[in-house]
Amino acid sequence: MPKKLLKDIAEEYDISFKDAKEFCFDYLEEDMITGKGLRTWISDAGQAILDDAIPMPTIHRGKVVGQCPNPLRLWVLDRDRMRKVVVRIPKKMEGKLLGKLIYFEENHNQPGVTYTWVHRGKLA
């Protein structure tokens, strides 16, 4: 694998360039990073370390069991862990998902864990 631009790595992992740069300075050694600004290059060894260091959202599925007081949130029974979680949905899906099996992703970016609905077309 040749060297790769940090901005391309950030796009692959769907994170901001600023966050990717912070990961580089936290996890990589100085000789793995060359260049500066948007022209920052990461070596092969650095790319392997970043693959393990950057958290990826986890996709789960579950059945919608109820509506929360906030209409943009649903109670979903997570089939993997057999517990109920609150899943955020977009405004256009309000009232359309009750009783259905949905996919949702687990995000660790904010303090705590949040869950967001994922459209089936975006799973591929």
* pLDDT at site 110: 66
Tokens for 2?
């040749």
Q: What is the pLDDT of residues 49-60, one digit of tens each?
A: 988 888 777 789
81-105 average pLDDT score: 93
93-109 average pLDDT score: 88
Residue limits of CATH 2.40.50.140 in the chain: 58-122
Contact 42, 19 (CB under 8 A): no
Percent of the chain topping pLDDT 70 = 94
Torsion of CA 28, 33, 39, 44, to 10 degrees: -80
Note the CATH architecture for domain 58-122.
Beta Barrel (2.40)
* pLDDT at site 124: 52
pLDDT at 104 over 60: yes
- Rounded Cα distance, 121 and 124, in Å: 6
- Rounded Cα distance, 83 and 107, in Å: 17
Band (84; pLDDT cuts 50, 70, 90): very high
Of 42, 48, 44, nearest to 24 by C-alpha is 42
Q: What is the pLDDT of residues 3-20, one digit of tens each?
A: 999 999 988 888 889 988
Verdict on whether the full-model pTM lies above 0.75: no
- Rounded Cα distance, 94 and 90, in Å: 7
pLDDT at 74 over 80: yes
Tokens for 86?
């609150």
* pLDDT at site 121: 66
Of 93, 57, 103, 58, nearest to 73 by C-alpha is 93
